[in-house]
Structure 1
Amino acid sequence: MRRFFSILVFCLGTSAAAAQEAPQSEPPMTFVRMAEIISQLDEDARVQGNVIELTLADVPVMVIADPVADRMRAMVPIRSADGLDADELMRLMQANFDTALDARYAVAQGRLWGTFIHPMSPLEQNQLISALAQTVTVALTYGQAYSSGALSFGGGDSRGIYEDILRDLLERGEEL
């Protein structure tokens, strides 16, 4: 077991160093750039302070940025957390491990949310678009596939839902 952790720490350290040395192909993500990208995805997107509200696939999305902490969070309300039983919470945790991928299910302020949380400056345009698509998809597949759609294990409909949303968003983002 100790050998496993030593290898894991070495791999994580090597990956982190390589990531720091790798040149970024785009300028750092800023709140202004994020708002410009999002406005291409939803021309009715609204900016209020450090929050951008938009709608994708008829799902309301909030993107909150904290430039000082260099963090961003995309959030989609799914349902009230009231009535979530142990089996449902277990299923959400399983999905966070294997099918939600970069998006996650979370409970806060009495609600179940689909979320994506990431450092802001290294986020590239296509990663942002994929993050929004995954976050919307975890909401749309809640109660069924519990999937972000990015990778789906099985022959369900979630992969097609994700691909349609991602394709549409990438096409709109090409105008940048």
Structure 2
Amino acid sequence: MAWLRTILMASVLAAPVFAQGAPEPPMTYERLGRILFALDDKAQPVGRGFQLSISGVPMLVVTDPAADRMRAMVPLRPAEGLTAEELMRMMQANFDTALDARYAVAKGQLWAVFIHPLSPLQKDQLISALGQTVNIARTYGTLYTGGALQFGGGDSPGIQRQLIEELLKKGEEI
């Protein structure tokens, strides 16, 4: 694995610089690796992907160049024992507050994920999505939010407002 990291780091240094405003090149495994190593210099190549940490949250990013897909994943907890209410709340968040990231269940595990076609993925889009994935991992069980805007028309604003109303009611007694 050290040899792959060395090759990827060498490609970072040799990568062409694209003029501002110029179209971005297609996202590839190598370009994705350069971006991830810029975000976490301790990132490690693993198979067709990378292990890294964003703000202290461990993440796995996998690619399938043949299918032109990528996936960023943060494990949250075993799926066993999730209540119907928790599942409902995650589905509501997937609609309005998780944004580009999502809650998902696979292989008996609950995940925070971002899934996207690989080649059209742009650098800033990737970075934003990784941040959103970390945010929904961090806010699992509380606000269930990607940390940016909310998409209107969902249930989350009312649920989040409910907490504020409860606190205001308690505050009336002071």
The Cα offsets for residues 18-72 of structure 1, whole Å up to 9 and x where unpaired, read as xxxxxx8200000000000000000000002201000111111000000010000
SS of the aligned residue for 2:37 comes to helix
Residues 115-126 of structure 1: pairs in structure 2 closer than 5 A: 115-126=113-124
Q: Distance in 2 between matches of 1:81 and 1:57?
A: 24
**C-alpha RMSD over aligned residues:** 1.7
How far is 1:123 from its partner?
0.5
Using the size of structure 2 for normalisation, the TM-score is 0.73
What does residue 89 of structure 1 align with?
Answer: 87
Letter aligned with residue 147 of structure 1: T
Q: Distance in 1 between matches of 2:80 and 2:47?
A: 30
What does residue 45 of structure 2 align with?
Answer: 47
Q: Distance in 2 between matches of 1:44 and 1:61?
A: 12
What does residue 30 of structure 2 align with?
Answer: 32
What does residue 131 of structure 1 align with?
Answer: 129
SS of the aligned residue for 2:105 comes to strand
Number of matched residues? 133
Q: Distance in 2 between matches of 1:150 and 1:67?
A: 29
SS of the aligned residue for 1:138 comes to helix
How far is 1:151 from its partner?
1.1
Letter aligned with residue 132 of structure 1: L
SS of the aligned residue for 1:78 comes to strand
What does residue 162 of structure 1 align with?
Answer: none
What does residue 57 of structure 1 align with?
Answer: 55
Residues 93-104 of structure 1: pairs in structure 2 closer than 5 A: 93-104=91-102
Using the size of structure 1 for normalisation, the TM-score is 0.72
How far is 1:150 from its partner?
2.1
SS of the aligned residue for 2:41 comes to coil
How far is 1:80 from its partner?
1.2
Q: Structure 1: which 5+ runs fail to align?
A: 1-23, 157-176
Q: Distance in 2 between matches of 1:59 and 1:116?
A: 15
Tell me which stretches of 4 or more aligned residues in structure 1 moved more than 6 Å.
none
Q: Distance in 1 between matches of 2:66 and 2:77?
A: 31
SS of the aligned residue for 1:136 comes to helix
Letter aligned with residue 94 of structure 1: Q
What does residue 71 of structure 2 align with?
Answer: 73
Identity over aligned residues, as a percent? 59
Q: Structure 2: which 5+ runs fail to align?
A: 1-21, 151-155, 161-174
